[in-house]
Amino acid sequence: MSVFDTVESCELTNAHGEVNFFRVTAGRPDLTGFVPLKPGRSGYIVGHSESGHHHILDAEGVDVMERTREGMKVLYAIVRSPATLRQDAGDPHARQIVEPGEYIITNNVEYDPFLEQARRVAD
């Protein structure tokens, strides 16, 4: 079952490299299998880059849960106050503000029909 199956509507509000924030506007995601995450010193890492540059969401006023299924990770976040989304790279993506709400956070994936496997996209 996809985390989106029980969501009636959502909208893409933030796209930061390969990381996408979908704000849930109606319905409720199925949170079966999700576990709470603890933020690091700089916040929650919501996207890992192969080059070591991560996408980070501020932790203040934010709770994040994670589920990994079939090798793919999905995050669910409750944002209670505006939070900054940033990248810790020498030439980072522009900072963005994530407004209060409930979000499903995904990372883009590629599907190779010849290998019959999906893999995470790196920016």
Q: What type of residue sits at position 117?
A: Q
Quote the pTM value. 0.84
Is residue 102 one of the residues assigned to a domain? yes
The confidence band for 118, taking pLDDT boundaries of 50, 70 and 90, is low
Question: Which residues make Cβ contacts (< 8 Å) with residue 115, sequence separation at least 6?
Answer: none
The answer to whether residue 2 sits within a structural domain is: no
Say if 60 falls within a structural domain. Answer: yes
Answer yes or no: is 14 within a domain. yes
Q: pLDDT of 1-23, one tens digit each?
A: 788 899 999 999 999 888 999 99
**Does some domain include residue 109?**
yes
* Number of domains present in the structure of the chain: 1
Residue among 113, 118, 89, 93 at smallest CA distance from 18: 93
Residue 19 lies in a domain: yes
Q: Does residue 1 lie in a domain region?
A: no
Residue 13 counted as domain residue: yes
Domain residues for the domain of 74 are 7-120
- Dump pLDDT digits (tens) for 54-65: 889 999 999 999
Give pLDDT tens digits for 41-83. 999 999 876 677 888 999 999 999 999 887 778 999 999 999 9
